[in-house]
Amino acid sequence: MIAELLLAATPLVATPPAPPADFLAYVEEVRQAGATETARSELVMVASIMAGTSVFEFRKDPQTGSYYQSYRSTSCPAPGLSAAERQKLFAEITARVEPVLKRLRAFADTDRSGFVSTAEGWEVRRTFEFGAELAALVPQEGTDRATLCKLLHVTPAEFDRRLEAYNALVRWFAGTEVRFLPAVPASFPACDEPASGPR
């Protein structure tokens, strides 16, 4: 009886099969990149905008009055470029983006683990977009916190948290050459304080 029980239990403790080679290669690729695929994608997007190879705009719809994000590349190859010219263009883009990406990766790694998680990558993108959106809004809408919170779809607490995070990002890149990292006011009036700018 005991032997039968042991035989029945044998499959339960069997050694699991080794992971497929392509899976191991993928894991190594992610490890070498120092970030998840999603996190790297978010960081590359932000670094490209900061380096000037892409453009981020926060535009106002004249009909609805609402704002929307717009992205476009400034480095699309012109038709008819030779392979050598395309390679040169790609090398120039990489040379501009990589130093920014490297520093941005260090900023994103908030737990100093040496690896950027998906959550950390997304937080950097959201922080950057918040600052860029805020910088675009202030000249148009003024500095009234309640108005800005409404247009940015954030609570006052989230507004303060993201403002602090964005200002930390700007300080992190102090002395580093970037083409787009707009400054924003260090603080904004509370709801019961007088606001400046158009209403």
How far is 108 from 35, CA to CA, in rounded Å?
Answer: 10
What tens digit of pLDDT does each residue of 143-193 get? 999 999 999 999 999 999 999 999 999 999 999 999 999 999 888 876 544
pLDDT of residue 133: 97
Q: Write out the two tokens for 146.
A: 């309640």
41, 128, 167 from 173: Cα distances, Å = 20, 12, 10
pLDDT at position 70 over 60: yes
How far is 90 from 94, CA to CA, in rounded Å?
Answer: 6
Most confidently predicted of 13-22, 76-85, 170-179, 183-192: 170-179
How far is 9 from 32, CA to CA, in rounded Å?
Answer: 40
Average pLDDT over residues 72-95: 80
pLDDT of residue 30: 65
Mean pLDDT of the chain: 85
- Nearest residue to 129 via CA among 109, 94, 153: 153
55, 56, 94, 190 from 180: Cα distances, Å = 9, 9, 17, 28
